[in-house]
Structure 1
Amino acid sequence: MRRFAARIDAATPPERDRAVDALRAFAILGVVLGHWLVTAIVVDSGSIHVVSPLQHLPAFTPVSWVFQTLAVFFLVGGQVATKSWASAQARGTGYPAWLRARLTRLFRPVLAVLAVWTVTATALLLAGVSFGTVEALVKLVLSPMWFLLVFAALTAATPLVSKLHPLWPLAVVLHVDLIRFALGGPSWLGWLNLPAGWLVPYCLGAMWAREGLRGRMTPWVLLVGGVAATALLITQAGYPASMVGVPGGKISNLNPPTLAAVTFGLAQCGLALLLLGPLGRLLARPAAWAAVALVNLSAMTIFLWHQTSMIAVTALGLLAGEPLLGLHTRPDDLSWILARLAWLPVFATALTVCWLAFRHHEQGRARSRTIRVAGSAGSERLQPVHLRS
């Protein structure tokens, strides 16, 4: 393993910003762990329904502060896309070719998920499973993909928005929320915040790429200001404390994004920028960098299959003959949380199986063989490592 990590380290271009890759990996893994912790598939009278422990355990709300990391993903996405577009212009690459290259890796693995779940849903219905159960499972798998559509739209708009100051979309979110909540405006108006809300960290990332965040105080202003604004919105303006949607709640901070979600995201972005230095020093170690590099090579595969992995473990658990704590039971007490934590390694194992089966849809079959350890008696054969932004 040391030789494996050293080979990845040696194959990495010296100019690559490893800390940026680490932020992206943390953002993806944060979403995965968050979904596994706040999603419960309850089996009741032969049917299933999806509930959240946040409905029954308000003290569990801080988990949404830790694992709702989409703002960091959009921050890194804006930075990387802006640099990539500038590089494409320098090489003379046209916009269509650049956009096609950016979106191919994003959406190619989606086709595999859609194909597998089309077959699975059809088979379940033919086997007599209720439509409501199949609908709940399919929705659980597909609903997290909404952010890919938003991310793709912002990526396509990079040449237009890369020089847009984040305060402009932030002002849109502020005015939309004022009209919705203070003036009694229509609820559909909130969907304007779907692009505007995520455009805030995306434009912040573009500003970062243009070296517009060079001041030492900027990350601290984002962190402290974002925390203070979010706290005021929650305690004084009636915004929910959870940074993810809670079934049955009157307001969701995420669907569509609210001002509280955006200010919380700014705080996350500030913290991410403050961590760049420590992360850079940590990732100088080959073992740490190898772990981050491997996650980034399969980031979309991990994201797209994590809910399927949880569903697979839940379905196999039914073979026990009775509901298993933390897997099939209602999430309404501390014992469920402790049991769910114990199930996380099992979910991760199932996700590893999915990764082995479907990673080539993201990396390409040729690239999926670029990292390989083989041979016997300790011999090693390792092909060159290819890393992409």
Structure 2
Amino acid sequence: MRRLREVADRTPARRERYVDLLRATAIALVVLGHWLIAVIEGDDGQLRGHNALEDIGWAHPGTWLFQVMPLFFLVGGYANAASLASHRQQGGDAAAWLRDRSGRLLRPTTVLLVLLALAALAARLLGGGPSQVREVVWYATVPLWFLSAYLCVVLLTPVTYALHRRYGLVVPVVLLGLTALGDLARLLGESRLGYGNFLFGWLAMHQVGFAWRTGHLPMRPRVGGPLLAVGLTALLLLTLVGPYPTSMINQPDQRIQNMSPPSLALLALATAQLGLIMLLRAPAERWLHRTHPWMLVVAVNSVVLTIFLWHLTAVILLAGGLDALGALPAPPVGTTTWWLWRIPWLIMLTGVLAVLVAIFGRIELRGSRRPHGRHRALPAALCRTLARPLPRLLLVVLGFAATVVGLFSNNAAPKSGEYPLGLPTGALVAYLLGAGLLRLLRSVPTPAPD
């Protein structure tokens, strides 16, 4: 607690504390939303899970409160703009920035994937069915779809930030138009032409984060009010009158999905959220300058990725433990008994996740530090080659690409199947090679700028 207070007290006065609050709030809402809709039931001695929204369609508009992924890209844009600008001012290049940025993202992710693979292998050796093992691992790795998208956005940041500096808010407007074209293609049955929305939609919010950081977008109530009204109006028209579903989380058998890839309806929701953020910014900043609220925000942000990565593993561990004890209830979804069961369910999940964060949170903290100088056994000639701008940039891009391919391939693979490690072998190898390459590059000191 003393160390946390010291960190909070050292916060520079110029820091936009509201960004940190939004990140912490967003992760809390994502976790709470996933936990609320998780349905785990016993089926002939095996655990089966599904989404409660499949059974309670009237609750679909409730996803408007919990679908806050656009906020991650908004605050990510703000943070990446601040970090890249500072890096540039110190004479650093894009390759070094990307290399260092990968540390905190990939280290805790690698630990999760390796431990899941080992657990899956152990389960298979102990007689676990391949399909059940795969389903468990698939569910635990659901959060990684977000990380694959975010890594793509981070990789493009040096280019997209340069576009922002030149064209400002024109860039997200163009991305909005491209998202609309992708939606039109999907509605016309040409779903492949809409795949670009996986990038255009999230990049649009990331660019808005740039605009917040650089002042191109005034974060004031007089702007927030109209944005909130326009966003909500567009959202209601697109979902209640237009062709978009009300659920902001993908549901089976829908003509078009809102989240994966992002749709115009999701961006309308993001616009409304942005307006609300502007309206609440001033009172929130005043509140965050109090010691205890700011300490809480600092504490959550120090392990925010760990919370996100492990919150569904907590569901698996708790459900498995309760089932082993014969204490896992299975009331019909949507009944009063089911809703009342959500209360102890959430409390117990919070306890399980707290233990996981206590164990693995320190890995995220270490991942934010640059391990330069630890690989002293590397040949000097190799170090010189890796320190050159062009080879370093190409290898960094290769490392990012390999990790994205690995993460995306796992989430795109069927959630049932025969995988010895619970993950597609090619996906795991691609990810580990990419993460290992970036780890190697982070260990090579960057030459001082001339």
TM-score (norm 2): 0.76
* Structure 1, gaps ≥5 residues long: 368-389
Matches within 5 A, 1:180-219: 180-181=186-187, 184-214=188-218, 216=220, 217-219=222-224
Letter in 1 for 2:350: A
Cα offsets for 1:54-80 (capped at 9, x unmatched): 111123224311111111111010111
- Which region of structure 1 is more displaced relative to structure 2, 284-293 or 187-196? 187-196
Moved more, 358-367 or 315-324: 358-367
The one-character-per-residue Cα deviations of 1:139-198 (angstroms, maximum 9, x if unpaired) are: 1111221111111111121122120521111001111112221xx241222221111111
Which residue in the other structure is 2:137 paired with? 138
Q: For residue 350 of structure 1, report the CA deviation from its aligned partner.
A: 0.6
- More deviation in 233-242 or 158-167? 158-167
Deviation at 1:332, TM superposition (A): 4.0
Once the two structures are superposed, what CA deviation does each residue of 1:275-315 show, in whole Å capped at 9, x if it has no partner? 22121111111111111000000011110010111110001
Q: Deviations over 1:39-95 (max 9, x none)?
A: 222221122332111111123224311111111111010111112111111110111
Correspondence for 1:379: none
In structure 1, which of residues 248, 252, 273 is the aligned counterpart of residue 257 of structure 2?
A: 252
AA aligned to 1:121 is: A
Instruction: Look up the match of 2:281.
Output: 276
- CA 1:331–1:134 in 2, change beyond 3 Å: closer, same or farther? farther
- Work out whether residues 41 and 49 of structure 1, in 8 Å CA contact, stay in contact via their aligned partners in 2: yes
* Distance (Å, rounded) in 2 between the aligned partners of 1:330 and 1:161: 48
Give the Cα separation in 2 of the matches to 1:245 and 1:39: 14
**After the TM superposition, which of the residue ranges 266-275 and 6-15 deviates more from structure 2?**
6-15
Provide closer, same or farther for how the CA distance between residues 349 and 136 of structure 1 changes in structure 2, counting only shifts above 3 A. Answer: same
Residues 169 and 196 in structure 1, CA contact (< 8 A), matched pair in contact too: yes
Q: Which residue of the partner structure matches residue 384 of structure 1?
A: none
Q: Flag the 1:191–1:48 CA change in 2: closer, same or farther, 3 A.
A: farther
Return the offset for 1:320.
2.6
1:300 aligns with 2:300: no
- Name 2:177's counterpart in structure 1: 171
CA displacement 1:8-41 (0-9 Å, x = unmatched) = 4322222222111101111111111111112222
For 1:338, which of 337, 340, 364 is the aligned residue?
A: 340
Equivalent position of 1:383 in the other structure: none
For residue 60 of structure 1, what is the aligned residue in structure 2? 59
User: Which secondary structure does the structure 2 equivalent of 1:21 belong to?
Assistant: helix
Residues 104 and 367 in structure 2, CA contact (< 8 A), matched pair in contact too:
no
User: Contact 1:53–1:60 at 8 Å: present in 2 too?
Assistant: no
Partner of 1:373: none
- Distance change >3 Å, CA 331–CA 127, structure 1 → 2: farther
Establish whether residue 311 from structure 1 lines up as the match of residue 316 from structure 2.
Answer: yes
Letter in 2 for 1:292: V
- Give the direction of change, closer, same or farther, for the CA distance of 1:319–1:99 in structure 2 (3 Å limit): same
Show the counterpart of 2:381: none
SS in 1 for 2:151: helix
* 1:5/1:287 contact within 8 Å kept: no
| SS of equivalent residue, structure 1 residue 49 | strand
One-letter amino acid matched to 2:28:
L
Q: SS of the counterpart of 1:324?
A: coil
Letter aligned with residue 173 of structure 2: L
Q: CA deviation at 1:225?
A: 1.0
Q: Which amino acid aligns with 1:172?
A: L
Question: Are positions 1:159 and 2:186 aligned together?
Answer: no
Residue number in structure 1 paired with 2:50: 51
Q: Tell me if the contact between 2:178 and 2:200 (Cα under 8 Å) persists in the aligned partners.
A: yes
8 Å Cα contact 1:71/1:269 also seen in 2: no
Q: Deviations over 1:177-235 (max 9, x none)?
A: 12221xx2412222211111111111111111110112743322322111111100111
CA 1:55–1:215 in 2, change beyond 3 Å: closer, same or farther? closer
Aligned CA distance change for structure 1 residues 215 and 38 (closer, same or farther; 3 Å): closer
Report the number of matched residues.
Answer: 361
- CA distance 1:137–1:247, shift in 2 (3 Å): farther
Matched residue, 1:239:
244
SS of alignment partner, residue 49 of structure 2 = strand
Question: Does residue 263 in structure 1 map to residue 246 in structure 2?
Answer: no
Describe the shift of the 1:256–1:49 C-alpha distance in structure 2 as closer, same or farther (beyond 3 A).
Answer: farther
Q: Does structure 1 retain, via aligned residues, the 8 Å contact 2:63–2:248?
A: yes
Distance 1:209 1:40 in 2: 40
Q: Which amino acid counterpart does residue 294 of structure 2 have in structure 1?
A: W
* Cα pair 1:57 1:333 within 8 Å, conserved: no
Shift of 1:6: 4.7
Q: Which amino acid aligns with 1:352?
A: A
| Partner amino acid, structure 1, of 2:307 | I
* RMSD of aligned Cα (Å): 2.0
Determine the structure 2 residue equivalent to 1:17: 16
Distance in 1 (CA, whole Å) between partners of 2:202 and 2:123 is 36
Unaligned 5+ segments in structure 2 are 370-450
Find the residue that maps to 1:92 and give its secondary structure.
coil
Q: Partners of 1:355 and 1:116 in 2: how far apart? A: 15
Work out the CA distance in 2 between the residues paired with 1:153 and 1:5: 32
Q: Distance in 2 between matches of 1:366 and 1:264?
A: 32
Deviation at 1:330, TM superposition (A): 5.0
Cα 1:255/1:280, change in 2 over 3 Å:
same
